[in-house]
Chains A and B, each alone.
Chain A
Amino acid sequence: DTAVSQTPKYLVTQMGNDKSIKCEQNLGHDTMYWYKQDSKKFLKIMFSYNNKELIINETVPNRFSPKSPDKAHLNLHINSLELGDSAVYFCASSPLAGGYGYTFGSGTRLTVV
């Protein structure tokens, strides 16, 4: 069983569209995260949720909206997609906020054309 699973793995879409990426973890972790990896492989945190509560919200355009229906799921919805949104998006989870044991999903490669 995959510990942190993201869907879809690949997403190609046109500028201006709205899309969602889903993430689920079966580790029983309390905290989940979204990271963005740019073309230079630099990973940057976007959001963090602890038990469905938003605890980290980095400087991200408000076209990006995370939603956590329960502590095992953290979805990322992106409105009005732009070319610059093309990147690999990683979901991760950890037992506690700030605790060790971050587990990452395999990533969603988003390409905006």
Chain B
Amino acid sequence: SQELEQSPQSLIVQEGKNLTINCTSSKTLYGLYWYKQKYGEGLIFLMMLQKGGEEKSHEKITAKLDEKKQQSSLHITASQPSHAGIYLCGATYPPGNTGKLIFGQGTTLQVKP
């Protein structure tokens, strides 16, 4: 089994709807990263969370990290076709100084106009 599990694996939503993607770690993590990938392109950094209970927002995307630092959620409000892509969560683990970023298997999001 993987250290980092994402759910759901894929998601199709109607434009304007809200959605949530979850990322669960099998152990306490050091830092949690959210990236977005469009087909044929690199990874675009969305947000990084490091403190338990932390929440960050950018435009219509909000990410939270639970107090135990084992679970994160990414919430998109009023989805738009531009939100479509693959969302990847990545985590570093203590001691956190190796630079090893481990990824979940990704969530493919389609937004229907």
Whether A107 and B41, one on each chain, are in contact in the complex, defined by CB atoms closer than 8 angstroms, is yes
Confirm or deny: B82 has a beta carbon within 8 angstroms of a beta carbon on chain A: no
Q: CA separation between A48 and B97, bound complex, in Å?
A: 12
Q: CA separation between A102 and B35, bound complex, in Å?
A: 10
Which of B31, B43, B105 makes the CB contact (< 8 A) with A90? B43
Interface-lining segment among A13-21, A65-73, A75-83, A91-99: A91-99
Q: Give the interface of B toward A (CB within 8 A).
A: 30-31, 33, 35, 37, 40-43, 45, 48, 50, 86, 88, 90, 92, 95-103, 105-106, 108
| Given known A90-B42, A103-B45, A106-B42, contact A97–B98 (CB-CB < 8 A) | yes
Q: CA separation between A43 and B95, bound complex, in Å?
A: 21
Whether A48 and B88, one on each chain, are in contact in the complex, defined by CB atoms closer than 8 angstroms, is no
| Chain A residues with CB below 8 A from B108, complex form | 41
Given contacts A33-B101, A41-B86, A98-B96, 11 further A-B contacts (CB under 8 A): A4-B42, A48-B100, A56-B99, A96-B97, A98-B92, A98-B100, A100-B31, A101-B48, A103-B45, A106-B41, A107-B41
| Chain B residues with CB below 8 A from A92, complex form | 43, 101
Interface residue SS majority, chain A: strand
| Chain B residues with CB below 8 A from A33, complex form | 99, 101
Chain A contributes a number of interface residues (CB within 8 A of B) equal to 29
Whether A42 and B98, one on each chain, are in contact in the complex, defined by CB atoms closer than 8 angstroms, is no
How close is A80's CB to chain B, nearest CB, in angstroms?
27
Confirm or deny: A12 has a beta carbon within 8 angstroms of a beta carbon on chain B: no
| Given known A41-B86, A100-B31, contact A107–B42 (CB-CB < 8 A) | yes
